[in-house]
Structure 1
Amino acid sequence: MTDDLIFDFLRQGLWIAVKISIPLLTVALVAGIAIGLLQALTSIQEMTLTFVPKVGAMMIVFWVSMSFMTATLVGFFTEQIIPQIAGG
């Protein structure tokens, strides 16, 4: 295995990590902005008000997008990593 091949696998792995994290990060961003706006409008500065809804929304999105994440990771390993291991 050459250095170029290893760096290519690392690049692909990082890109896949970005792709599978986009749904969770997007929901965290949107929920954080919405809750921050609500807190600014109502002057409520409760810490659990930001934490609990954001975690709940992220859990729901994680549950919904779990099949996409799994399929992406399995595809990467079956099409890229395992053939290189088996091929030598």
Structure 2
Amino acid sequence: MSEELIYDVLRHALWIAVQISAPLLTVALVAGVVVGLFQALTSVQEMTLTFVPKVGAMLIVFWVSMSFMTATLVGFFTEQIVPQIAGG
């Protein structure tokens, strides 16, 4: 296995990681901003108010995007990794 091939597979794996984590991170960011704005407008400084909506939104998005994540990882494994293992 050449150095270029290793770097190419690593680059592709990192891009897959970005694609898979983007929906969860985006929802966490949006939920955090919305809850922060709500807290600033109402002067409610409850610690659980920041945690519970974020976790709930992230669980919902994870449940919805689980098939996308699985298909992406399986596709990467079957198209990139298995041929490299089988090829030598």
1:19 and 2:19 correspond: yes
Residue 32 (structure 2) aligns with: 32
Question: What 5-or-longer segments of structure 1 have no aligned partner?
Answer: none
What is the rounded CA distance, in whole Å, between the counterparts of 1:59 and 1:45 in structure 2? Answer: 23
Tell me the equivalent position of 1:58.
Answer: 58
Q: TM-score, normalised by structure 1?
A: 0.99
- Per-residue deviation, residues 13-55 of structure 1 (Å, max 9, x unmatched): 0000000111101100110000000000000111110001100
Partner of 1:9: 9
Report the counterpart of residue 44 of structure 2 in structure 1. 44
The residue identity in structure 1 corresponding to 2:79 is E
Q: Which runs of 5+ in 2 are unaligned?
A: none
How far apart, in 2, do the equivalents of 1:9 and 1:69 lie? 18
Q: Which amino acid aligns with 2:87?
A: G
Deviations along 1:32-86, one digit per CA (max 9) or x if unpaired, are 0000000000001111100011000000000000000000000000001000100
Q: Which residue of 2 aligns with 1:72?
A: 72
Q: Which ranges of 4 or more aligned residues in structure 1 deviate by more than 3 Å? A: none
